[in-house]
Amino acid sequence: MLRFVTSNPGKVREAREYLPETVEQVEYDYPEIQSADLAEIAAAGVRDAFEEIGEPVFVDDSGLFIDAFDGFPGPYSSYVEGRLGIERVWRLAERENENERGARFRTVVAYADGGTVETFEGSVPGRIVAPRGDGGFGYDPIFEHRGRTFAEMSTDAKNAVSHRSRALAKFADWIAQRDESSREGR
């Protein structure tokens, strides 16, 4: 069984679609270190969560990286969403040259079981546009990928291409390989 340390049940549903083992949600508010590197933040978080929970756990950390702002808000995405809101992020991006409005969602999944912490990264390219659509959450209405914003896509269509699903797919492959090697080792 895998324990996903998150307060977001939507993420847990998505993880269950990708991972071969049972996924249980654990609510534990681990401290987030300050870093420009998502993998470092996720790795520190999962180490802390493992120490607290004492069982194999994973966490994820995501952000929106906007080219014109040199990757900002990146690891500060949640703070910026809460303080400025996505409409104002769009208005800031709108002032930039159109071909500078490229962006990327990135997610790092980090897993700890007492051995080396493993991290898996997924990302999806897109561009920042005026808000459209009422689906999804967070920055979805201003993130366009192949002509549609994430907020205009069904959950399945978004999950098929999303940063989080790509990171989860890598994590799932790693689990499958690890289980296969441990079976062969028996």
Give catalytic residues, as residue numbers: 61
Residue from 15, 46, 63, 120 binding ligand IMP (CB under 6 A): 63
> Angle CA(75)–CA(79)–CA(82) in degrees, nearest 5?
145
Count of residues near ligand IMP by CB under 6 A? 16
150 is an interface residue for ligand IMP by CB under 6 A? yes
- Residue among 42 and 117 whose Cβ is closer to ligand IMP: 42
Q: Which is nearer to ligand IMP, 48 or 61 (CB)?
A: 61
Can you tell me whether residue 107 is helix, strand or coil? strand
- Binding mask 72-111 vs ligand IMP (x if CB under 6 A, - otherwise)? -----xx--x-----------------------x------
**Collapsed DSSP state (helix, strand, coil) of residue 34:** coil
Q: Which of residues 107-136 bind ligand IMP (CB under 6 A)?
A: 136
Encoded amino acid at 140, one letter: D
* In the complex, minimum distance from the CB of residue 104 to ligand IMP, in angstroms, rounded to a whole number: 12
CA 107/CA 162 separation, integer angstroms: 9
What SS3 state is found at 124? strand
Bond from prior residue into 73 cis (ω within 30 degrees of 0): yes
Cα distance from N-terminal residue to C-terminal residue, the chain: 20
Calculate the alpha carbon distances from 165 to 5, 12, 43, 63, 89 in Å.
17, 12, 19, 14, 25
Nearest to 130 by CA among 162, 168, 91, 99: 91
In the complex with ligand IMP, the residue whose CB is nearer, 70 or 184, is 70
Does position 50 interact with ligand IMP (CB under 6 A)? The reply is no
Of the pair 62, 119, the CB lying nearest ligand IMP is at 62
Q: Closest residue to ligand IMP, Cβ-based? A: 138
Helix (H) or strand (E) holding 147: none
Does residue 171 bind ligand IMP (CB under 6 A)?
no
State the residues that interact with ligand IMP by CB under 6 A.
61-64, 77-78, 81, 105, 136-140, 150, 162, 164
